[in-house]
Amino acid sequence: MFDTSRPGSVLSDEEHRSPLQVHLVLAALRCWWHIALPVGLLLASGAAVAVYYLTPATYTASAWLFIREMRPILVTNALQEDPRKFRFNQIELMKSRPVLSPIVSDPAVATTPELLEEPDPVNFLRNRLRIRTLGESDYYVIEFTSRSPEKAAMIVNKVADEYYSIYQRHESKITQETIAKLIDHQVNQQKHVENLRNRVEKLAKEVQGKADLGDATPSQRLGMASPMVELESQLLKAQLEQLTKSVELEVAMKLAQDTDYEPSEEEVEARVAALPEVLAMKAKIAEDKARAMAHRERLAPAPPSGNRAPTAAEAMLANMESQIAAAEAKLQQRLGELRVEMKAALEKFGRAKRQEEVERLQAEKQRIDLTVAFLQNRLGNKQQEQREVAGGAAQLEFAKAEYDMANKFLNMISERIMKMQTEIQAPERIQIFQYATTPTRPDEAVPYKKMGMVAMAALLAPFALAVGIEMLYRRVTSRQQIESLGTLAVVGEVTALPSRYKNRGSDQTSRERQLFEESIDGLRTYLSLVETMRGRKVLAVTSAISREGKTSLAAQLAVSIASATRRPTLLIDGDLRSPDLHRIFDVDRGPGLAEVLQGECTLQEAIETGLSETLHLLTAGHLAANPHHVVGCGKFEDLLEQLRGLYDHIVLDTPPILPASESLLMARAADAAVICVRRDYSRVDQVATAVSRLRATGVQTVGAVLNGIPPRSYAYRYGSYYYHSYRDRPDETATSEPA
């Protein structure tokens, strides 16, 4: 019902800014599918054809590498490492600038179509290069896709060769330097062992008169417990690890201090050429050259005269060329400065990366140093305990123990060197298994996936536009939208009137007509029983704008009231500007309401009584003045008061509220009013404005009637109970049949 407790605008700001809802999408599909679908199909077909002809064929070349996660072992794994980390390192190395920069600098590679279009070809190649493993195997595949099959194969093979070369140089250099450092420590350890041996022999001669380095270990000769022996073993292993890590750290520090890591000229040039400053300067020079060339073409051929003074246009051209020459000289100077800066920056970056490796090794060495110091401290404490028990006689045995540990450490170093030298001869860890061949077939003969995606987007574009239109217009699609306004109740729903072009004898048309009549009768029954309509004779049927079905609703409602009550019922066509009731009932337009209000005829002359005994019609007539002048001044109210004494029920078809304001005068003169809302046509904001105007003028609004409901939706919502009348059956039997 009409709620007078809510002041202000009918729709709140939140309701006006409601987000995309499902009913908007459904309304767009219902209202626009007959336009959006053929347009979408046409766009989809055109888009698919355009993609087919405009998408260039691409070719993918693949090279295979065999990379063992675990290093091949002949004797033992002398160079321990994390296999998982090694795998990731190799993938990053293949896509690194040291590998890719020399490749993009190759003139044969630089002409690749994709690289020509990129300001930073190295970064582009890094992003487009695909490196993957085949399942859990040790096979790696390097792939690159290009519009040129020859270039794709060339790039993949060059990446494989460059990566293999860099890896071999790097691994060989590190291994050889590590072995060389270990040999240096071996020599020093040999000297240390020889000094300890001489010291033991000297002490032995002093104590026993002869040197004795028997087979028994010092721990056994001193009767040390097994924990002492275990400590010696742990200490020897830790010291060997400490030595190995020290060697690795020395190698890394040497590499960090080495000057043989300067970036290549190609990499420096590529980096400088991609700088925004350089690109802007080159673009400005190119623009000036194009302008100078255009100016030169516009110049007329000069006459052959050596003493002729240059014209103003020629002087301008000379000035432009001098400015271009100055700009090019400035560019070359700036390029020289940027090369120096870029080279320094790349060198700094290289040093930083190597310094990170040095810091990592230093942290690991510190950890090992702490372990060695801890073990030495424990072993020293144990030995001190033994000295206190054995007294001074144990000096020789402890010297022998020190010699024995040093000798063992020397043997461990020698063994490590031997293993590393042996493992160098092991099978190669990385092999180029198969080079890429030039692909002969494109990746896709027909780009079905791209065509499908573009066609689908084109197909949905008209529907998306339709949804946007619905969001803009916000048409009424359900009774919930009307009731959500909070000021208007829906008193009835009326189905769409069956089309006159349908087969009148078909069962479907008969059922649709029955549903329409049932919806009208349901509205009439509700209005006759509702409390607010008791004692009220004049019902105005209005709408926000035209073509919302108010005239059809008023006519059918009047017919239903007259047929059901068998009481005098009058239908008034109050739409003086654009009347329709005379066409519906096929009668003359005038004389009618306009003539009566203008005093040109009597009421009895204007009312059409030939329709039926209970239903009479007052047409609109012919308007000869402003409708406000005709309806105003109390003339219409007086006329309705006169008609109330002649008819039990009066249905008034008013003009639409928003374009014809005289409808407010007519609705106010009536006892009550219902506002007609057409599904998928009426706009929510227009309905809200019309209701607001009715409320402001004091019109008693019963509610809204939502018409234009599809028969199937009405039957699904309210159910159906069809019947066959005697007019619908050839044998004229009246048999009821539920649907």
Residues 6 or more apart in contact with residue 561 via CB below 8 angstroms: 524, 569, 649, 651
Residue 440 confidence (pLDDT) above 80: yes
What mean pLDDT do residues 224-239 have?
67
What mean pLDDT do residues 255-267 have?
61
Q: What is the rounded CA–CA span in Å between residue 293 and residue 139?
A: 56
What mean pLDDT do residues 524-550 have?
88
- Residue 438 has φ and ψ, to the nearest 5°, of -65, 120
pLDDT score of 617:
94
Residue 322 confidence (pLDDT) above 80: yes
pTM of the predicted structure, to 2 decimals: 0.51
Pick from 544, 572, 435, 558: nearest CA to 488: 544
pLDDT score of 721:
63
pLDDT tens digits, residue range 111-140? Answer: 888 888 788 888 889 888 999 888 778 889
pLDDT score of 223:
46
- Residue 570 has φ and ψ, to the nearest 5°, of -120, 135
In terms of pLDDT, which residue wins out, 681 or 81?
Answer: 681
pLDDT score of 517:
87
Residue 206 confidence (pLDDT) above 50: yes
Residue 488 confidence (pLDDT) above 50: yes
pLDDT score of 730:
38
Domain ranges of the chain: 22-55+447-471, 59-260+361-434, 486-728
pLDDT tens digits, residue range 293-313? Answer: 887 877 756 555 556 667 777
Which residue type occupies 537?
A: K
pLDDT tens digits, residue range 2-45? Answer: 343 333 333 444 444 444 477 778 777 877 888 888 998 999 99
- Residue 262 has φ and ψ, to the nearest 5°, of -65, 140
Locate tokens 């916000």: which residue?
Answer: 474
pLDDT score of 17:
42
What mean pLDDT do residues 91-107 have?
85
Structure tokens at 609: 């009584």
Residue 720 confidence (pLDDT) above 70: no
pLDDT score of 685:
87
Classified as helix, coil or strand, 638 is helix
pLDDT score of 409:
78
> How many residues in total does the chain contain?
739
Q: 486-728: CATH homologous superfamily?
A: P-loop containing nucleotide triphosphate hydrolases (3.40.50.300)
Residue 726 confidence (pLDDT) above 50: no
Indicate the pLDDT class of residue 647, thresholds 50, 70 and 90: very high
- C-alpha of 574 from chain center: 56
Residue 74 confidence (pLDDT) above 50: no
Residue % of the chain over a pLDDT of 90:
17
